[in-house]
Structure 1
Amino acid sequence: MKKDHPKLSVRRQFTLLSLARSTLYYQPCGESAENLKFMKIIDEQFLKTPWYGSRQMARHMQREGHKCGRHRARRLMRLMRLVPIYQEPKTSKKNPEHKVYPYLLKDLPITRPNQVWCTDITYIRMQRGFLYLVAIMDWHSRKVLSWRLSNTMDAGFCVEALKEALATYGPPEIFNSDQGSQFTSTDFTDVLKDAKVKISMDGRGRWIDNRMIERLWRSLKYECVFLNTFETGREARQGIGTWIAYYNEERPHSSHGLMTPDEVYDNRKPNMKLAA
């Protein structure tokens, strides 16, 4: 694992983790050694070809010499929350008993921080197992406002991340998510209602609305997760926390030219260093 970013103090790095002490001891989810190997291959291939469904992914695996049929590929992709971009955006399983809210972003220009926030969950591979990562992002600036890791897919870690973002930055006007059970749960939506936030949920054919946070996942995996071999939840949290601090504070976002997400969110000029 790479060393923590030198510009971040120990207190700053601990703050970025934003974790209850009990969560530091989560163990990664387990699968067989063969399935973990297949999940690593699927994860890397899906970043290159996000239109691959289970049938095409199984063909890719078989061409690479792996005994992985379509049913196995489909189960592992569901476990990893990988959904081809051409399908309805079922990035997490819906709960038919949960209320689904209307989509509010059609033809809406998003031009300022705290106008719209969004969220998503991704799979984080470990040396022996895997974890799930949720992030809350400001749509306009692309700033990561909060995040949490978990070894389960219940709504609890998503609620914790949402509460932290609201407490730190105040409420947005609109909060947009997919229709996954974590985000339609009353535990999650009640927090938004109490904060007087309008709730928006992606509908059929709206996978494109997740593109900015999908780009975050792509960058995180290529620049952090794939370059490190996280063995414990503590290592994963430290490594991801350091990378997210770099992403927010130092990494210019393509949508904003030379400006970082922090600079756009805070309406600051870019920190330009004059050549000697």
Structure 2
Amino acid sequence: MSKMGNRFSPEVRDRAVRMVGEHRADYGSEWEAMSSIASKIGCTTETLRRWCRTEAGRRAAPAAQGVDDKARLKLLEREVKELRRANEILRKASAYFCNGGARPPREMMMAFVDVHREDLGIEPICRELAIAPSSYHEHAARLADPARRSARARRDDGMCEQIRRVHEASFGLYGSRKVWHQLRREGFDVAKCTVERLMRTMRLAGIRRGKKTITTVSNPKAPCPLDKVNREFRVDRPNALWVVDFTYVHTWAGFVYVAFVIDAYARRIVGWKVSTSATAGFVLDALEQAIHARRPGPDDGLIHHSDRGVQYLAMNYTQRLAEANLVPSVGSVGDSYDNALAETINGLYKAEVIWRQRSWPSVSAVEMATLSWVDWYNNHRLFGPLGYIPPAEAEANYYAACDALDMAA
């Protein structure tokens, strides 16, 4: 067989098979056609028959493969459709149950099925949420016939109406404790935990007092420099007195703190910093900006005046003051007049920047607004005590007068 097969080239075998197919109609049967053509080629009829069967199988394989591919594609399409529907169910459920914990309450899951049963189907939703379809059908039957609901559920319905009434009568101020007391005053026998549970379900809550923000936190045990200013903030030259303080701003993400370093001569802001935490490093950054901008020398005798906040009395802050040849000065506790100039600048900042906008979304928004305001404040804002000129112009006039005196001398 192998020897016979090797006697013929592939081209001869293909030609013989092709001729059998082309001239099959000229003979009484396929075998007669094979016998006639095989004798002319020089091979046996059985050999030609095997060639024809091999070629037929080779040609049938793509067709069979095509049928298998279509069936597999149809199966994959069905699986993709199911997965997309499951993904849509889970996507909507994740948004619906975002506050429900590891497994949301049964009432929430039933409500989700009620909302999405038309577009997603009851059976797929129950399968993805691991709910028995019979449980949902029982839930739907209870909704259609309230008499089938449990006694506790019926009591909760009536109590929810009373809780909402009391809460609305208080203008939304009462929390669960005061709602419970009011219901007891009216003669309702209800447990406090029941009121708390139902108010959570209805998403009702009382008003809460905001936490008071204190920026000046003093440490009575910390060594404190003396007050070298004594509320006298008028000086005859720049780099004679710096006053420092920081304030806070409400944002959507929490408090943001803003520190300023002000030269008392022209009330120019020489350093500022915005931060999300009121640490010593935060106010030190503002001081570093001022030091690099003004380059005070030992001959200036520059006084640095602050309140008794722990940030300004921290070791790294006081060490930097000594390195920069600044003389520390600290006012008294709880007395805004001892740092009145810095408090005034903070008030201007709040009135001219912060309070003009209803809310601030982020620290970056506050920082950009502060940058724009500081630039306008130093270079364009008119000050009455300076003769209605900007701080930068007042300092420029001072240095121009000094140069004129030096030239005259």
Q: TM-score interval w.r.t. the shorter chain? A: 0.5 to 0.7
Structure 2 partner of 1:253: 383
Equivalent residue for 2:325, pick from 175, 196, 199:
196
Which runs of at least 4 in structure 1 moved beyond 6 Å after TM superposition? Answer: none
**CA–CA separation in structure 2 for the residues paired with 1:66 and 1:123:** 27
Out of 119-128 and 176-185, give the one that drifted further: 119-128
Larger Rg: 2
Residue 257 of structure 2: SS of its match in structure 1?
Answer: strand
Alignment of 1:102 onto 2:252: no
For residue 86 of structure 1, what is the aligned residue in structure 2? none
Rate the CA distance shift 1:107–1:211 in 2: closer, same or farther, 3 A. closer
Corresponding position of 1:238: 368
Cα separation, partners in 2 of 1:96 and 1:215, compared to 1, 3 Å: closer
Q: Distance in 2 between matches of 1:250 and 1:66?
A: 46
Q: Which residue number corresponds to residue 166 of structure 1?
A: 291
| Correspondent of 1:144 among 269, 274, 287 | 269
Letter in 2 for 1:195: A
SS in 2 for 1:266: helix
Q: Which moved more, 1:198-207 or 1:251-260?
A: 198-207
1:126 to 231, 239, 251: 251
Residues 12-48 of structure 1, C-alpha deviations (whole Å, 9 max, x = no match): xxxxxxxxxxxxxxxxxxxxxxxxxxxxxxxxxxxxx
Q: Distance in 1 between the 2:332 and 2:295 partners?
A: 26
> Residues 107 and 258 from structure 1, CA distance in 2 versus in 1: closer, same or farther, beyond 3 angstroms?
closer
Query: Shift of the alpha carbon at 1:186?
Result: 0.9
Which of 258, 261, 282 is matched with 1:157 structurally?
A: 282
Give the Cα–Cα distance (whole angstroms) in 2 for the partners of residues 260 and 179 of structure 1: 30
Q: Which of residues 310, 329, 334 in structure 2 aligns to 1:181?
A: 310
Q: Deviation at 1:192?
A: 0.7
Structure 1: distance between partners of 2:364 and 2:281: 19
Displacement after TM superposition at 1:268 (Å): 6.0
Cα deviation, residue 254, structure 1: 2.4
Change over 3 Å in CA distance of 1:176–1:66 after alignment to 2: farther
Instruction: Name the residue aligned to 1:262.
Output: 392
State the one-letter code of the partner of 1:240. T
Partner in structure 2 of residue 88 of structure 1: none
Aligned residue in 1 for 2:344: 215
Asked if structure 1 preserves the Cα contact closer than 8 Å seen for 2:336 and 2:343, the reply is: no
Which segments of 5 or more consecutive residues in structure 2 lack a partner in the other structure? Answer: 1-171, 175-207, 400-409
C-alpha contact 2:237 2:398 (8 A) present in aligned 1: no
In 2 relative to 1, CA 258–233 (structure 1 residues): closer, same or farther, beyond 3 Å?
Answer: same
Please list the CA deviations of residues 200-256 of structure 1 after superposition, one character each: whole Å capped at 9, or x if unmatched: 111257531322222222222222112233212111111111011111110011221
User: What whole-Å deviation, never above 9, does each CA across 1:141-191 have from its counterpart, x for those lacking one?
Assistant: 110011111111210111111111101102261100011100001111111
Contact 1:80 1:122 in 2 (8 A): no
| Alignment-derived partner of residue 93 in structure 1 | 217
1:104-163 CA-partner distances (Å, limit 9, x unpaired): 123865221110001001011223422011100001211001111111121011111111
Change (3 A) 1:230 1:104: same
Deviates more, 1:141-150 or 1:200-209: 200-209
Greater relative contact order structure (CA < 8 Å, 6+ sep): 1
CA–CA separation in structure 2 for the residues paired with 1:157 and 1:230: 20
**Counterpart contact for 1:80–1:123, Cα < 8 Å:** no
Distance 1:227 1:205, change over 3 A: closer
Change (3 A) 1:247 1:104: same
- Separation in 2 of the partners of 1:66 and 1:265? 54
Decide which structure has greater helix share. 2
Aligned to 2:320, the other structure's residue is in SS state: helix
Q: Which amino acid aligns with 1:194?
A: E
Q: CA RMSD in A?
A: 2.5
For the residues of structure 1 that align with 2:319 and 2:378, how far apart are their CA atoms?
28
Q: Could you say what secondary structure the match of 1:134 adopts? A: strand
What's the % identity of the aligned pairs? 25
2-structure distance, mates of 1:154, 1:205: 20
* Structure 2 counterpart SS, 1:131: strand
Structure 1 residue matching 2:373: 3-state secondary structure: helix
Distance in 1 (alpha carbons) for counterparts of 2:385 and 2:316: 33
**Structure 1 spans left out of the alignment, 5+ residues:** 1-64, 82-91, 270-276
Distance in 2 (CA, whole Å) between partners of 1:66 and 1:115 is 53
Distance 1:225 1:207, change over 3 A: closer
> 1:124 corresponds to which letter in structure 2?
V
Alpha carbons 2:231, 2:337 under 8 Å: kept: no
